[in-house]
């Protein structure tokens, strides 16, 4: 079984379309900025990967995540050649925080929002008439979980078309919690480099249209399978065995072998434990796969976009297929020892012709998801 990705939309700190984001990744742009959403004097971390779309500098606004969500869904529908009526089309949204930032602004500043505004179903219904909307708060793996469930809806004949999305804006409560629990304070997110100190937050939204294979006139890529699990090994620390099971399950569902994978879009959160565990798993999985696949980590330039991060990596893999190039991991000069045998793209974009990609997303609580994608051109 396989499913076609027929439309895509994305917004992040790097740009307002998938192609703009990818172009900035290939240019190796350092886009972190001094913290603007909150009072930086309260925190050790002074940087983030924010979207600069506030009307007043230094004054945050409610419902930014909902605004981005409706924008990328509209773009994905247009890209797929579909209208904007989602009355009978399921919409599955993966997120970490939903509209928690809006709730913070209501509590602190009296922002004029109501309880219904905190649910992504509200703006989706207003913009597209969507009646069947579902929000999944599966930490950093949420959007790939949503993708896997969308594939199940099509496979079980419950739908022919599903919109899958992810959206998150930075929240002060999450930023503050992260600032307290990380042992050291990162100035930039540096996946798989010896200088990595931890995660910095990013913002953004992403959407794809998923349809039954062969039913649409044009497919930008084909989803072969999604492997998911929740190993519940630890509240925050990743588990080698749980991640390994998710990777191998994705390969099994997609009907591929390790040597068939040409590109890995890494989770690459920049935290030492996550980087070391992910690198160790991949070194084991691809040990007998010859030279192994190329690997990159877009969080080095987008920051951690939370629930939508896995789907954003998947969209970047589609464009890597189309443009035949793979962007680098920004700032990767001294790889950690666990990554010594991996083909990490360093320093600059490389020309390549990947045909099959693996997309990793691993969240707190051992919530793991891995997608396998195939080029159609």
Q: What is the CATH number of the domain that holds 299?
A: 3.40.47.10
Compute the distance between CA of residue 374 and CA of residue 377 in angstroms, rounded to an integer.
9
Residue 143 main-chain phi, psi, to 5 deg: -70, -30
Q: Whole domain around residue 56: which residue ranges?
A: 3-375
The per-residue pLDDT for 217 is 75
Alpha helices in the chain (DSSP H): 18-27, 64-79, 100-109, 121-128, 142-155, 172-181, 240-254, 272-285, 299-302, 309-323
Q: What is the pLDDT of residue 216?
A: 76
Profile the chain (377 residues) by mean pLDDT over runs of 10 residues. Answer: 95 98 96 91 95 87 97 98 97 96 94 93 98 95 98 97 98 93 92 96 98 88 97 90 98 98 98 97 97 98 97 98 98 97 97 98 94 95
State the DSSP string of 60-112. Answer: --TTHHHHHHHHHHHHHHHHTT--S--TTS-EEEE-SSTTHHHHHHHHHH---
Q: To which residue do tokens 């464009």 refer?
A: 319
Closest CA to 96 of 30, 208, 177: 177
Query: Would you state the pLDDT for residue 28?
Result: 96
With helix as H, strand as E and coil as C, how does 305-326 read? CHHHHHHHHHHHHHHHHHHCEE
Nearest CA to 376 out of 163, 220, 173, 145 is that of: 220
Nearest to 301 by CA among 15, 7, 49, 5: 49
Total domains present in the chain: 1
């Amino acid at each position: 079984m396989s499913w076609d990705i027929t439309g895509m939309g994305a917004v992040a700190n790097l740009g307002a379309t998938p192609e703009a984001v990818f172009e900035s990744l290939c240019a190796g742009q350092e886009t972190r900025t001094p913290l603007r959403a909150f009072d930086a004097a309260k925190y050790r971390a002074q940087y983030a990967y924010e979207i600069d779309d506030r009307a007043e500098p230094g004054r945050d606004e409610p419902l930014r995540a909902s605004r981005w969500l409706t924008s990328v869904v509209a773009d994905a529908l247009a890209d797929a050649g579909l209208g904007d009526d989602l009355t009978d089309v399921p919409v599955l949204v993966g997120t970490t925080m939903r509209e928690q930032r809006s709730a913070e602004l209501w509590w602190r500043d009296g922002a004029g929002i109501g309880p219904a505004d905190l649910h992504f179903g509200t703006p989706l219904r207003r913009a597209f008439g969507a009646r069947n909307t579902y929000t999944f708060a599966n930490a950093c793996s949420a959007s790939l979980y949503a993708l896997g469930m969308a594939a199940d809806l099509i496979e079980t004949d419950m739908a022919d078309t599903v919109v899958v999305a992810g959206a998150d804006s930075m929240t002060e409560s999450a930023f503050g919690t992260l600032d307290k629990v990380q042992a050291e304070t990162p100035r930039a997110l540096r996946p798989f480099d010896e200088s990595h100190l931890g995660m910095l937050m990013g913002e953004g939204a992403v959407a794809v249209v998923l349809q039954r294979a062969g039913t649409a006139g044009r497919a930008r890529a084909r989803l072969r399978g999604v492997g998911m699990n929740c190993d519940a090994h630890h509240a925050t620390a990743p588990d080698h065995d749980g991640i390994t099971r998710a990777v191998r399950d994705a390969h099994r569902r997609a009907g591929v072998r390790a040597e068939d994978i040409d590109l890995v879009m890494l989770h690459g959160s920049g935290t030492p434990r996550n980087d070391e565990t992910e690198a160790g798993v991949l070194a084991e999985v691809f040990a007998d796969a010859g030279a192994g696949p190329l690997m990159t980590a877009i969080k080095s330039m987008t920051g951690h976009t939370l629930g939508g991060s896995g789907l954003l990596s998947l969209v970047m893999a589609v464009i890597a297929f189309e443009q035949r190039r793979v962007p680098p991991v920004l700032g990767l000069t001294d790889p950690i020892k666990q990554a010594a045998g991996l083909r990490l793209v360093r320093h600059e974009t490389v020309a390549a012709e990947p045909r099959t990609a693996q997309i990793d997303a691993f969240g707190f609580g051992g919530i793991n998801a891995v997608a396998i994608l195939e080029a159609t051109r």
